Amino acid sequence: MSYTPKMNEFIQAVEATRQKRYDERHARLSPEEKQQLLEDFHPDYRPDTMRPIKVGVSKGSVMPHELVDVLESRSRLDSDKFPLNKIDYDVDVLIIGGGGAGSSAALMAHAEGANVLLATKLRLGDANTMMAQGGIQAADKANDSPNLHYLDVMGGGGFANKPELVKALVHDAPLVIKWLEDLGCMFDKESDGTMVTQHGGGTCRKRMHAARDYSGAEIMRTLRDEVRNREIPVLEFSPAVELLSDGEYACRGAVLMNLETKEFFVVRAKTVVISTGGFGRLHIDDFPTTNHYGATADGLVMAYRLGGRLVFLDATQFHPTGAAYPEQIVGLLITEKVRGLGAQLVNIHGEQFVYPLETRDAVSSAIIRECLDRKKGIVTETGQHGVWLDSPMIERIHGEGTILRSLPAMYRQYARFGIDMRKTPILVFPTLHYQNGGVDIRDDTSVTTVENLFVAGETSGGVHGRNRLMGNSLLDVVVFGRRAGMAGAERARHVKPGALSLAHVSRYHKELEDAGLVTDKVSPILLPPYARYQSVPGADPAV
Amino acid sequence: MEKEKVRIFIMGKAYEVPKGLTIMKAMEHAGYQFIRGCGCRGGFCGACGTVYRMPGDYRLMVGLACQTVVEDGMYLTQIPVFPANKATYDVEKLRPGLSDIIKLYPELTRCLGCNTCTKACPQDLDVMNYMAAAMRGDIERAADMSFDCLMCGLCAARCPAETVQYNIAILIRRLYARHVAPRAKHLASRVGEILDGAFDRSLDEMTEFTRAELETLYNQRDIEPE
């Protein structure tokens, strides 16, 4: 699947200007220009991408349309008729979601002696955790401290982060690296055992730990193996579709659905941990995404119906350079290092249109402007927009062999599809990467507005403020997953099981009706509608 | 513009799909909504192992559905789950050598050296030879060679000796990282400081700082050189 003849024609324009661009430095944006660019083109700033939600505890908060759509949908369950008298599973701690956070929570709750059940929508380990390549931050070197890590997290988040959560994140970071090392997670090390650490965007110390470029996969498969070794009960292909309550604002379990047979199961639990990940597969503003198939905001929907407050959900992280071609890898991340080494962003005429190392939000906006407003981008045969990232410039600047030496994984990724990025540019477009906000929690992951409910990982909000730094999401899922497991098990010791209720769902449905929101849409949607006959426009470039 | 089509057979049934799609997107184009056989969609999770055959060729080919492009005449089925043997163990109590590995997976020694596993690996790993390293008790080499394993299960599905290469490989990697690789001393020492509460007070103070105070500290922080 190398470039088509048509694409090769476009590439000639890039080659024609390479010599000229070699000597050219594109002007940086002035603060005013940058602000205007963001306001005009960044999805977070454009009022047409969001609206205030009309119901629930965060009523009036502005969030992306695609999220509000699923929040303003009805439950799969008829709350007046659904039978709750037969309890299928009776446990101390129910964990919903089997990624890095859920698996960490399961291991810790189990170690605390709790009777644990982990239910997950797809397979154990099917999560964004598995896909994280870059690494995991922790201040464990002599020249570093949790305090410096704290400053980096706050600065990256626009100083809007919830301080108690940032403190927990940086405090626990070395503890979780040690925990993972003890579990047999193969971090990159020097021959004397010293961790190999690098910088990430916005770090003041080299504290990015990695396991080659499979960091998340290595952490996830280690945690998964350990969950299996401890024989913790796991129900795969069994997403939760609704939480159960005491009728007010305390959680008492959940209803699961067998994804294949559609059979429902009632779980009574003293405490519940939600670790279902983010909303990438809702394709906010029709963007492609780096996210896992299962990232459909299920946890946000269920927690919100029971009264969980949502914060920072108007801040979505778009990475400026996602792959736009070939079709097989659309949306996948192209590391910032490619621009760091000198690759320029170039339009259909072979012209630069933005300084390549502006902040991520500004570069994303400039690419969107070039494609959608100025119409100077490329449109592929599958309808995907993109601009060129002129990777051959890297070898022009630093000499032949630089790409194989510095970007081997990236090189292999393209070589697999017959594209030699040393010789031809690659096509990129911004990609939806991370849900910065989520359910409001305390530093033990307990939800501020619901009893006996805990939320960990991307489903929660506050720790990253308005913008997460690289290497802090793997950290987030393990730190807060562990805390959720411990707090959930501890709290379960003090909870007496009581009658199960879906009254909170009836209450929510009534609110929808009172707000004039009459709909037959149901949520959580569980799976994105990619099969051809159910597709939403723009959700999948294949259609 | 009418797109060029190819004809593929999904579990025996023919579909016309646009040329250039991955097997995964071709199946979605055909109308399938995945429950199994679809995960990260980016080549990291091993959910979408697929076996296929081309017309006129007796050989079975393998690939990840999210990374393999459909070709005209492709006859395919997914193997989303394989009922493989998985030993349970406490990694801390094991010794990193052949004897403990064989206690957990005695079938390891049944390897016929046929190399079918290597041919079945969508990551192009040298599976037979990492298994050979395991049989020599060379934990470090087996861990290194198997590192990029996605645990899709295609090797085990094709193995005539019925060994489960990917489960043996993760045991070996965990043994290597836990017992063979040297420990990070700086990490142990920082963990000691944290457990002693060395940072508690200063971190608590930082949570009380105003935004202006934090911004000043943030802008003054020195950056470690590359």
Residue ranges per domain, chain A? 5-41+318-432, 90-315+436-504
The strand pairing partners of B53, in sequence order, are B75
DSSP designation for A466: T
Fold of A90-315+436-504: FAD/NAD(P)-binding domain (3.50.50)
Residue A209 falls in the annotated catalytic set: no
pLDDT over 70 (residue A538): no
Computed over every residue of chain A, the mean pLDDT equals 94
B119 by DSSP, 3-state: which? helix
**Short-list B190, B47, B60, B14, CA closest to A122:** B47
- Judge whether B203 is closer than 8 Å to chain A, CB to CB: yes
**Short-list A103, A492, A490, CA closest to A277:** A103
What part of A 463-502 touches B (C-beta under 8 Å)?
A: none
Contact A163 B207 (CB under 8 A): yes
All residues of chain B having their beta carbon less than 8 Å from the beta carbon of residue A154 are 214, 218
**Short-list B134, B170, B130, CA closest to B150:** B170
All residues of chain A having their beta carbon less than 8 Å from the beta carbon of residue B184 are 140, 177, 181, 187, 189, 193-195
- Round to whole Å and give the CA distance between A70 and A444: 28
Q: Confirm if A345 and A352 have CB atoms less than 8 A apart.
A: yes
Question: Chain centroid to CA A190: how far?
Answer: 31
- In this prediction, residue A337 has a pLDDT band, given cuts at 50, 70 and 90, of confident
Q: What pLDDT digit, counting tens, does each position of A210-251 carry?
A: 998 889 999 999 999 999 999 999 999 999 999 999 999 999
Average pLDDT for residues B115-139, to the nearest whole number? 95
Average pLDDT for residues A429-444, to the nearest whole number? 97
DSSP A407-457: -HHHHHHHHTTT--TTTS-EEEEEEEEEE--EEEB-TT-BBTTSBTEEE-G
Domains located in chain B, CATH noted: 5-78 (3.10.20.740), 91-180 (1.10.1060.10), 185-220 (no CATH)
Please give the pLDDT value at position A1. Answer: 55
Q: What pLDDT digit, counting tens, does each position of A165-210 carry?
A: 999 999 999 999 999 999 999 999 999 999 999 888 789 999 999 9
Of the candidates B177, B186, B226, the beta carbon closest to that of A184 is on B177
CA-based nearest distance B51→chain A, Å: 18
- In this prediction, residue B161 has a pLDDT band, given cuts at 50, 70 and 90, of very high
pLDDT over 80 (residue B226): no
**Short-list B44, B157, B154, B84, CA closest to A126:** B44
H or E stretch covering B50: strand B49-53
Please give the pLDDT value at position A540. Answer: 46
Q: What pLDDT digit, counting tens, does each position of B143-159 carry?
A: 999 999 999 999 999 99
- Round to whole Å and give the CA distance between A536 and A380: 19
Contact B45 A142 (CB under 8 A): no
Q: Confirm if A159 and B214 have CB atoms less than 8 A apart.
A: yes
Residue A509 falls in the annotated catalytic set: no
Q: What pLDDT digit, counting tens, does each position of A189-199 carry?
A: 999 999 999 88
Contact A189 B182 (CB under 8 A): yes
Q: Confirm if A136 and A166 have CB atoms less than 8 A apart.
A: no
Q: Confirm if A292 and A97 have CB atoms less than 8 A apart.
A: no
All residues of chain A having their beta carbon less than 8 Å from the beta carbon of residue B211 are 159
Q: Confirm if A455 and A306 have CB atoms less than 8 A apart.
A: no
Count of C-beta atoms within a 10 Å radius of residue A178: 20
Read off the tokens for A285.
Answer: 């503003």
pLDDT over 60 (residue A478): yes
Share of chain B above pLDDT 90, in %: 88
- Judge whether A526 is closer than 8 Å to chain B, CB to CB: no
Contact B199 A293 (CB under 8 A): no
> Residues with Cβ < 8 Å from A11, sequence gap 6 or more?
A3, A388, A424, A425
Residue B129 sits at the vertex; the CA angle it makes with B127 and B135, to the nearest 5 degrees, is: 110
Q: Does domain A5-41+318-432 have CATH number 3.90.700.10?
A: yes
What part of B 122-161 touches A (C-beta under 8 Å)?
A: 143, 147-148, 150-151
Q: What pLDDT digit, counting tens, does each position of A107-138 carry?
A: 999 999 999 999 999 999 999 999 988 789 99
Please give the pLDDT value at position A535. Answer: 53
Q: Which residue has the higher pLDDT, A465 or A406?
A: A465
Amino acid identity for residue B39 in this structure: G
Average pLDDT for residues A280-291, to the nearest whole number? 94
pLDDT over 80 (residue A320): yes
- Round to whole Å and give the CA distance between A103 and A235: 12
Q: Of residues A21, A110, A339, A369, which has the active-site annotation?
A: A339
- Give the mutation candidate from A120, A530, A535, A540 for the B interface (greatest B CB count, under 10 A): A530
- Round to whole Å and give the CA distance between A129 and B84: 24
pLDDT over 90 (residue A333): no
CA-based nearest distance B111→chain A, Å: 24
Of the candidates B39, B170, B203, the beta carbon closest to that of A150 is on B203
> Residues with Cβ < 8 Å from A43, sequence gap 6 or more?
A49, A64, A284, A285, A287, A316, A318
Please give the pLDDT value at position A341. Answer: 86
- Round to whole Å and give the CA distance between B144 and B87: 21
Q: Confirm if A446 and A494 have CB atoms less than 8 A apart.
A: no
Residue A50 sits at the vertex; the CA angle it makes with A525 and A358, to the nearest 5 degrees, is: 110
**Angle in degrees, 0-180, between the axes of helices A215-229 and A163-183, rounded to the nearest 10:** 70
- Round to whole Å and give the CA distance between A485 and A26: 50
pLDDT over 80 (residue A98): yes
